[in-house]
């Protein structure tokens, strides 16, 4: 895990690329030099062979040639140069055995005291009077050249690569730790801990600058959130007190009016409107609070099935009284997710209330909980009019209502709260077509 | 009603309303508008319940209650607040508050909650049979009979009825029922409790002459003899 992260880090990737370029260039240079020198060497060997053969050309008879070859062969180490003469009459002279077939010439040692070169030979063959003369040069110099170049590669390139890789790993490790610190801080901020800061390194480089930038951003966000909290609690206080007074005065007024009078009815309607204002106001405040994210600090594992059962049980009689079929599909085993059970319960309750409000009576309302990987899915579906595809994103906005549902009760904040709860829990919220009806699913991570 | 209450609220309209409401119910109310006076007054003791606004001049509600609890004043306290967040609620309960009511509230809700705090039944021996009129609930056998007739209840109907019977004669608001019977701490937009109560009524009251469960307008429900 750590290693694969390290391998994917930018410094290691860049170091790897540089090393690869250096390696290719070095190999190409050395390889080119090697090929040139080898071909020069081979040309030299070939010239030597031609010269040697020319020296024997003067001998006229096979006997003389054999004697000459024998003399040269005795004075020469077959590991370097082989001289051999095979007479047509079966006469043989030389410091190595030679077998000639139509296609090739095979050399083997004449005696164990005179081993041949392991590097192979380059030979020249010439038909002279009464036999075949063979001169072969060992390819040992070529092999030595190759070994020298290999040595060069090993002793120059390998340490370079190893040292560069080591340094890159060291630098990458350090950078990775710093990037990890940045990531961890970002995650903490995203998780609602706005006081999280990066420890800024002494040296001035790009990561330090990013760290400072991150800290500045976090400070601003913290200040903004604090200001928002302050403003909303001020608004809450300044608005709630008059709302409280209105509620009090209306309640008071009602006791002074004769029951069943027109005035009492108006006072009662005013009371209901005040209550509605309070309800919208409370919901807006609550959504703002959830979106603030600080509640994530109180997250605990809870059983999604149990929450669904409790909320479904609360609404089942209401749905049945409407003539709806209420279906609850919840597994026996607990489906554990991490979060705030109360908020998830409220989100579910909003979804059920939405279905009861917008779907005509006599349909089917289904609540499903399923384990999904380490997490769980909560699905609420109805058989009502549904929400047209283009409108599905909009209904998650605050106070947005479909044209057709303007006349139904509710304040258009139910789904916004569901969306806020989903975001707080890192859960995927999907609205889809239940054909017919609306299907809302909340997928909680494990 | 002979409760003695201390109301600490700086908004005169709200304080008037609360005081008048409780007076009409027959409770004695001492009314103060700041935390410092309230501290001295509450230390003198003798109150059944304190109703404290969280935002007060001089000494805020939280600090007031913390100081009182530190001085071993155990009088049940209900916070009135204009802050409605979960964290504010937890903070209030942690400071020693026994209940919490977010503004704006109806007097019915406040009264029901104050009654619940003021008349917390003393730790009684475990009752096994609860009664209201000719209705009997056997807690061991988990059976309910009325006028000798057996009534079959679903588990949740049973616990709803049990909750009302244990608080016989006292109003239980919808939110109080949601909190205690269902363990739900939010306000549903629809009146779900109403549906459960009417189902319970259909079994407990409808087949009989006299209604035991009554609706208290603007407040909640109550069971009586």
pLDDT in tens, B11-29: 888 898 899 889 988 899 9
Is the preceding omega at residue A436 within 30 degrees of 0, hence cis?
yes
A229 in a structural domain = yes
Contact yes or no for A241 and B183 at CB 8 A? no
Closest residue in B to A287 (Cα–Cα)? B85
Residue B70 tokens, joined: 């530190």
Given CA atoms A408, A402, A317, A347 in this order, what sign does their dihedral have? negative
Does A426 lie in the same domain as A302? yes
Does A87 lie in the same domain as A16? no
Compare CB distances from A317 to B85, B188, B199 and report the shortest one's residue.
B199
Compute the distance between CA of residue A256 and CA of residue A264 in angstroms, rounded to an integer: 9
Does A362 lie in the same domain as A412? yes
Task: Collapse the DSSP code of A321 into the 3-class scheme (helix H, G, I; strand E, B; otherwise coil) and give the result.
Answer: helix
What is the predicted ipTM?
A: 0.82
Q: Does B83 touch chain A (CB under 8 A)?
A: yes
Q: Does B72 touch chain A (CB under 8 A)?
A: no
pLDDT score, position A326: 94
Contact yes or no for A244 and B102 at CB 8 A? no
Report the range out of A15-19, A114-118, A157-161, A429-433 with the highest average pLDDT: A429-433
DSSP A156: I
Q: What is the mean pLDDT of chain A?
A: 84
Residue A339 tokens, joined: 């979060």
pLDDT score, position B121: 61
Task: Judge whether A75 and A111 are in contact, CB under 8 Å.
Answer: no
pLDDT score, position B157: 92
| CATH number (domain holding residue A305) | 3.30.565.10
Does A320 lie in the same domain as A381? yes
Query: Of A24-28, A222-226, B66-70, B152-156, which range is least confident?
Result: A222-226
Exposure b/e, A160-172, CB count within 10 A at least 16 = b: eeeebeeebbeeb
The band of B93, judged by pLDDT with boundaries at 50, 70 and 90, is confident
For range A47-75, the mean pLDDT = 81
Compute the distance between CA of residue B189 and CA of residue A318 in angstroms, rounded to an integer: 13
Pick the last residue of a domain from A292, A327, A356: A292
Task: Judge whether B125 and B114 are in contact, CB under 8 Å.
Answer: no
Task: Judge whether A135 and A124 are in contact, CB under 8 Å.
Answer: yes
Residue B20 tokens, joined: 């008048």
Given the DSSP bridges, would you call strands A375-381 and B172-173 parallel, antiparallel or unpaired?
unpaired
Contact yes or no for B186 and A345 at CB 8 A? yes
A42 in a structural domain = no
Does A391 lie in the same domain as A414? yes
Residues 6 or more apart from A40 whose CB is under 8 A from it?
Answer: none
Q: Does B186 touch chain A (CB under 8 A)?
A: yes
Does A215 lie in the same domain as A153? no
Does A327 lie in the same domain as A415? yes
CA torsion angle for B166, B170, B174, B180 (degrees, to 10)?
Answer: -30
The band of A222, judged by pLDDT with boundaries at 50, 70 and 90, is confident
Helix ranges, chain B (H): 12-24, 35-44, 61-70, 86-94, 107-118, 155-166, 174-177, 192-204
Residues 6 or more apart from A149 whose CB is under 8 A from it?
Answer: A30, A33, A34
Is the pTM of the predicted complex or chain greater than 0.90? no
A33 in a structural domain = yes
Q: State the burial class of residue A25 (Cβ atoms within 10 Å of its Cβ: 0-12, 13-18, 19+).
A: exposed
Compute the distance between CA of residue B109 and CA of residue B113 in angstroms, rounded to an integer: 6
Nearest to A412 by CA among A311, A280, A319: A280
Task: Judge whether B11 and B38 are in contact, CB under 8 Å.
Answer: no
Q: Please check the confidence at residue B50 and state whether its pLDDT lies above 90.
A: yes
Compute the distance between CA of residue B77 and CA of residue B5 in angstroms, rounded to an integer: 10
| CATH number (domain holding residue A258) | 1.10.287
Pick the last residue of a domain from A265, A292, A319: A292
pLDDT score, position A315: 94
Compare CB distances from B192 to A245, A278, A315 and report the shortest one's residue.
A315
Q: How far is B70 from chain A (nearest CA, A)?
A: 27
A419 in a structural domain = yes
Q: Does B217 touch chain A (CB under 8 A)?
A: no
pLDDT score, position A441: 93
The band of B82, judged by pLDDT with boundaries at 50, 70 and 90, is confident
Cα A14 to chain centroid distance, Å, stands at 18
Closest residue in B to A288 (Cα–Cα)? B85
Compare CB distances from A244 to B14, B87, B182 and report the shortest one's residue.
B14
**Taking CB atoms and an 8 Å cutoff, what residues of chain A touch B195?**
317-318, 321
Quote the crossing angle between the two packed helices A414-424 and A341-358, to the nearest 10°.
Answer: 150
CA torsion angle for B134, B139, B144, B146 (degrees, to 10)?
Answer: -10
Closest residue in B to A238 (Cα–Cα)? B82
Nearest to A364 by CA among A441, A435, A287: A435
A47 in a structural domain = no
Contact yes or no for A313 and B156 at CB 8 A? yes
pLDDT in tens, A369-422: 999 888 999 999 999 888 887 777 777 776 666 555 545 556 567 888 898 899
- Interface residue ranges in chain A relative to chain B, Cβ cutoff 8 Å: 233, 236-237, 240-241, 243-249, 251-252, 274, 278-279, 282, 285-286, 289, 294-295, 298, 310-311, 313-315, 317-318, 321, 342, 345-346, 349-350, 353, 356-357, 409-411, 414
Q: How far is B196 from chain A (nearest CA, A)?
A: 7
A359 in a structural domain = yes
Does A366 lie in the same domain as A217? no
Does A155 lie in the same domain as A8? yes
For range B168-193, the mean pLDDT = 88
Nearest to B187 by CA among B196, B177, B195: B177
Q: Please check the confidence at residue A32 and state whether its pLDDT lies above 80.
A: yes
Q: Please check the confidence at residue A7 and state whether its pLDDT lies above 60.
A: yes
Does A147 lie in the same domain as A127? no
pLDDT in tens, A329-353: 999 889 999 999 989 999 999 999 9
**Taking CB atoms and an 8 Å cutoff, what residues of chain B touch A282?**
84, 102, 187
Contact yes or no for B55 and A237 at CB 8 A? yes
Instruction: Provide the β-strand partners of residue A339.
Output: A300
A46 in a structural domain = no
Q: Does B105 touch chain A (CB under 8 A)?
A: yes
Task: Judge whether B195 and A314 are in contact, CB under 8 Å.
Answer: no
Pick the last residue of a domain from A292, A323, A348: A292
Phi, psi of A431 (to 5 degrees): -105, 130
Does A147 lie in the same domain as A14? yes
Chosen for mutation from B102, B103, B191 (greatest number of chain A CBs closer than 10 Å) is: B103
Domain count across chain A: 4
Compare CB distances from A240 to B82, B185, B195 and report the shortest one's residue.
B82
A198 in a structural domain = no
The band of B110, judged by pLDDT with boundaries at 50, 70 and 90, is very high
pLDDT score, position A387: 83
Q: Find the domain containing A28 and state its range.
A: 2-37+143-188
The band of B85, judged by pLDDT with boundaries at 50, 70 and 90, is low
Does A356 lie in the same domain as A401? yes
Compute the distance between CA of residue A443 and CA of residue A372 in angstroms, rounded to an integer: 8
pLDDT in tens, B132-147: 999 999 999 999 999 9
Contact yes or no for A248 and B183 at CB 8 A? no
Of all helices (H) and strands (E), which one includes residue A39? helix A10-56
Compute the distance between CA of residue B103 and CA of residue B84 in angstroms, rounded to an integer: 8
DSSP-assigned letters across all residues of B181-225: II---S--SS-HHHHHHHHHHHHHTTTSSS--EEEETTTEEEE--
Compare CB distances from B13 to A245, A318, A342 and report the shortest one's residue.
A245
């Amino acid at each position: 895990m750590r290693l694969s992260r390290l391998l994917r880090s930018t410094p290691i990737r860049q170091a790897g690329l540089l090393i690869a370029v250096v390696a290719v260039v070095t190999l190409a240079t050395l390889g080119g030099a090697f090929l040139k020198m080898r071909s020069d060497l081979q040309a030299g060997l070939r010239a030597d062979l031609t010269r040697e053969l020319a020296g024997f050309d003067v001998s006229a008879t096979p006997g003389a040639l054999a004697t000459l070859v024998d003399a040269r062969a005795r004075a020469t180490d077959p590991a370097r140069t082989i001289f051999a003469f095979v007479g047509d009459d079966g006469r043989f002279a030389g410091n190595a055995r030679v077998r000639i077939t139509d296609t090739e010439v095979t050399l083997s040692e004449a005696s164990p005291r005179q081993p041949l070169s392991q590097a192979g030979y380059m030979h020249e063959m010439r038909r002279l009077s009464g036999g075949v003369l063979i001169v072969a040069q060992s390819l040992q110099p070529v092999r030595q050249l190759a070994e020298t170049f290999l040595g060069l590669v090993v002793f120059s390139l390998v340490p370079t690569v190893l040292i560069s890789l080591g340094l890159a790993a060291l630098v990458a490790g350090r950078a990775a730790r710093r990037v990890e610190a940045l990531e961890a801080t970002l995650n903490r901020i995203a998780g609602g801990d706005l006081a999280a800061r990066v420890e800024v390194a002494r040296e001035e480089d790009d990561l330090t600058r990013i760290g400072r930038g991150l800290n500045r951003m976090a400070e601003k966000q913290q200040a903004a959130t604090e200001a928002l909290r302050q403003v909303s609690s001020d608004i809450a206080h300044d608005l709630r007190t008059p709302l409280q007074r209105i509620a009090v005065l209306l309640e008071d007024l009602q006791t002074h009016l004769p029951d069943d009078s027109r005035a009492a009815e108006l006072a009662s309607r005013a009371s209901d409107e005040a209550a509605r204002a309070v309800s919208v106001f409370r919901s807006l405040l609550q959504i703002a609070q959830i979106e603030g994210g600080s509640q994530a600090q109180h997250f605990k594992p809870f059983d999604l099935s149990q929450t669904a059962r409790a909320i479904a049980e609360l609404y089942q009689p209401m749905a049945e009284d409407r003539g709806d079929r209420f279906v609850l599909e919840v597994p026996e085993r607990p489906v554990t997710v991490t979060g705030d059970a109360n908020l998830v319960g409220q989100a579910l309750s909003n979804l059920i209330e939405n279905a009861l409000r917008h779907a005509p009576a006599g349909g089917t309302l289904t609540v499903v909980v399923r384990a999904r990987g380490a997490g769980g899915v909560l699905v609420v579906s109805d058989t009502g009019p549904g929400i047209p595809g283009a409108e599905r994103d909009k209904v998650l906005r605050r106070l947005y209502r479909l044209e057709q549902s303007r006349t139904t009760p509710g304040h258009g904040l139910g789904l916004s709260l569901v969306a806020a709860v989903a975001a707080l829990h890192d859960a995927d919220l999907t609205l889809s077509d239940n054909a017919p009806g609306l299907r809302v699913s909340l997928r909680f991570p494990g | 009603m002979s409760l003695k209450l201390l109301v600490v609220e700086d908004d005169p309209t709200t304080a008037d309303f609360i005081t008048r409401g409780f007076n009409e119910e027959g409770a004695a109310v001492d009314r103060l508008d700041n935390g410092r006076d309230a501290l001295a007054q509450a230390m003198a003791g003798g109150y059944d319940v304190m109703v404290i606004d969280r935002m007060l001049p001089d000494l805020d509600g939280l600090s007031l209650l913390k100081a009182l609890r530190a001085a071993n004043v155990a009088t049940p306290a209900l916070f009135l607040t204009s802050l409605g967040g979960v964290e504010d609620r937890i903070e209030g309960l942690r400071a020693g508050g026994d209940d919490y009511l977010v503004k704006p509230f109806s007097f019915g809700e406040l009264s029901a909650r104050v009654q619940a705090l003021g008349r917390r039944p003393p730790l009684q021996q475990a009752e096994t049979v609860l009664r209201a009129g000719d209705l009997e609930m056997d807690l061991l056998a988990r059976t309910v009979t009325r006028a000798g007739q057996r009534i079959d209840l679903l588990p949740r109907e049973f616990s709803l009825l049990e909750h009302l019977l244990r608080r016989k004669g006292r109003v239980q608001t919808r939110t109080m029922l949601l909190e205690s019977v269902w363990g739900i701490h939010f306000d549903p937009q629809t009146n779900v409790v109403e549906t459960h109560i009417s189902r319970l009524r259909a079994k407990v009251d409808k087949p009989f002459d006299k209604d035991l469960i009554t609706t208290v307008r603007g407040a909640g429900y109550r069971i009586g003899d």
